[in-house]
Structure 1
């Protein structure tokens, strides 16, 4: 009896001390590329798909890496150069007020099809990744890829330029959320996203600038546990703040759900 009681005490103590696994957002960024994408041409510096540090979607002021790095709500944990051939850089951020991590990959511009394919497979629950980072002297294991709670794609809408032979089907019953910040992503991505089983948190109905302020605003709402409508409103307000397009226009552009 004493041994059983001791075992129960130890079990409850372990459960009390256990922490919930951190929530993970995985962002797939296709670097803008004047030479390999059907985009409106921009400066050679911002549109060089082989130069992540100066690319409009990554290293520029409103690119994912720089914008989150300058944000007071997020802390850069690690940056890894060229983790594999298709990806020029991977960064991991931690939210300062919540146990939430953001993993972002900068895909070479010419690898846009690979970026979109991996995003969709991850949204379907495939391609799980274990990412280990050190925070406060402790190793933290992050469940990224198909095991992440939110999957996001940022960049040119490659589905305007090419088609995919098939769409990945949902692997399990887990409820994943998806954000697609690319021109007219709802029109071009509905069939693909439905197949994955992921739910659209935020996507677009027209041409847009897929810069990081919209992503960050929407994620702050998700972290706070707000409704999808509130999250979409955050995104629209942020888009209008930087693009000066008018709140009504931003609300027409950025939508949530099917």
Structure 2
């Protein structure tokens, strides 16, 4: 009887362990640091536009940059900084959502390597370049192993074309967010190849700041519909940019 109880206990523990592992969701955010010298942008103050300086960069260390905004969020816990083997990534941060088993990995790419950032991001939407990070007893899959992939920064596809391994490696469902100017026009042909779901992207010029990213992710974690998630993104953008909710809804859209 004792042996039977012990066996049942082991089976239950393994079942719960597997259930916990299956419930883990991962998000990978690719940030091309704002770079006055190496990107086709309207110049911003030098401190904000130093693509080799993450600390004060407009899209990373500034008030509405990904690093600062998520570190200050009441919904996310900063877990740790991780050294990347990729020399183009200047800073890599891991966050955990406070009320769900969701992890977010944010990579700050050197602004002069925006083309490689774009290639890495698009390849990831095809399920490629997956890698794992161990946190406590959980194996966290990022890169192409993430369920949600986001890009934040200048739309480099306005300035160059890219080539890479863009055919999907499996039929796993992946969602994509692209917070960059006119991203629907420029990313559409690539996403048609990678078969990723364009959850939120843009139809015109925009400020790719982290409040829009967080609002989109909030809805995704809650399991909202794509339309609801795009609406949340528009509401957040209007709140900070004061652009009018109708304009924000035209700007931030979902689907092909």
User: Could you state the TM-score of these two structures normalised by the residue count of structure 1?
Assistant: 0.93
Tell me the residue number matched to 1:68: 70
Tell me the residue number matched to 1:123: 125
From 144, 147, 150, the equivalent of 2:148 is 150
Contact 2:151 2:177 in 1 (8 A): yes
From 86, 90, 95, the equivalent of 1:93 is 95
Verify: 1:49 aligned to 2:51, yes or no. Answer: yes
Runs of at least 5 residues in structure 1 that lack an aligned partner in the other structure: none
What is the aligned length?
254
Q: Which SS does the other structure have where 1:163 is aligned?
A: coil
Contact 1:176 1:198 in 2 (8 A): yes
Tell me the residue number matched to 2:249: 251
| RMSD between superposed Cα atoms in Å | 1.9
Tell me the residue number matched to 2:203: 205
Report the more deviating stretch, 141-150 or 15-24.
Answer: 15-24
Task: For 1:77 and 1:155, locate their aligned partners in 2 and report how far apart those are by CA, in whole Å.
Answer: 24
Q: Point out 4+ residue stretches in structure 1 off by more than 4 angstroms.
A: 2-9
Contact 1:122 1:145 in 2 (8 A): yes
Q: Which SS does the other structure have where 1:238 is aligned?
A: helix
Shift in CA distance, 17/132, structure 1 to aligned 2, threshold 3 Å: closer
Shift in CA distance, 9/139, structure 1 to aligned 2, threshold 3 Å: closer
Q: Which has the higher strand share?
A: 1
Task: For 1:166 and 1:204, locate their aligned partners in 2 and report how far apart those are by CA, in whole Å.
Answer: 23
Q: Which SS does the other structure have where 1:194 is aligned?
A: helix
Per-residue CA distance 1:69-97 (angstroms, 9 max, x = gap): 00000010011356531011000110000
Contact 1:23 1:149 in 2 (8 A): yes
Per-residue CA distance 1:121-166 (angstroms, 9 max, x = gap): 1110110011123xxxx34321100100000000000000001135
Displacement, 1:34?
Answer: 0.4
User: Could you state the TM-score of these two structures normalised by the residue count of structure 2?
Assistant: 0.94
Runs of at least 5 residues in structure 2 that lack an aligned partner in the other structure: none
Contact 1:83 1:90 in 2 (8 A): no
Verify: 1:20 aligned to 2:11, yes or no. Answer: no
From 110, 116, 121, the equivalent of 1:114 is 116
Q: Which has the higher helix share?
A: 2
